Amino acid sequence: MSKVQAFLNKIAPGIVSTCAKHKILPSLVIAQAALETGWGTSELATKANNLFGLKANNTWKGPTYTKVSAEHLRGQKVSLASQFRKYDTWSDSIVDHAKHLTSQLRYKSVVSEYDYQTACFSIAAAGYATDPLYASKLINIIERNNLIKYDKQLLNEINSTHRKERT
């Protein structure tokens, strides 16, 4: 089994379930996790269980992990030491990421967006990452790995729920 498939097998069920509750496209979230962690192999993923590169700001009350990361500031790529959120499990990281997206007004256009390309451009425009190519990289991961199949599962669940509510 490839590294990619092993990573997808490990995270996709939890992401699909969490995304269904929060109305976020699984393809977007899986692509973010893949990009941010190198398919689960990064230092942040292996030592801090942080799949999404979420930093620990002044509202974060949990443990932290300090790491140097590449940032794009004023058109320049620089390395900065940052405090990142540290989790007990990857599942905790997935749930916190969904809460992060749904609790901040700047990500409003990402929640309940069911077109993966629009969602990728929306999350990038909202400032999720400093990389100017962030949206394009996410779209590339989604398309190369057929991650929209996970969106179809979510959309089928949503449509099924709506049908039940109307009857």
What are the tens digits of pLDDT across the range 52-75? 999 998 889 999 999 987 766 677
Q: Is the dihedral of CA 117, 161, 100, 150 positive or negative?
A: negative
CB of 83 within 8 A of CB of 65? Answer: yes
Tokens at 162, concatenated: 């709506």
Catalytic residue among 71, 92, 131, 143: 71
Catalytic residue among 36, 92, 96, 113: 96
Question: Cβ atoms within 10 A of the Cβ of 82, count?
Answer: 15
The answer to which of 4-8, 149-153, 162-166 has the lowest mean pLDDT is 162-166
Q: From 22, 29, 13, select the one nearest 128 (Cα to Cα).
A: 29
| Alpha carbons 51 and 54: distance in angstroms, whole number | 8
Amino acid at 158: I
Helix (H) or strand (E) holding 36: helix 26-37
- For the entire predicted model, the pTM comes to 0.89
What are the tens digits of pLDDT across the range 131-140? 899 999 999 9
Residue 27 has pLDDT above 60, yes or no: yes
Is position 96 annotated as part of the catalytic site?
Answer: yes
Residue written as token pair 């009350």: 61
What are the tens digits of pLDDT across the range 137-162? 999 999 999 999 999 877 776 666 65
**Domains and their CATH numbers in the chain:** 10-52+88-154 (1.10.530.10)
For the residues of 86-136, what is the DSSP string, one character each? --SSHHHHHHHHHHHHHH-GGGTTTTT---HHHHHHHHHHTTS-S-TTHHH
Is position 71 annotated as part of the catalytic site?
Answer: yes
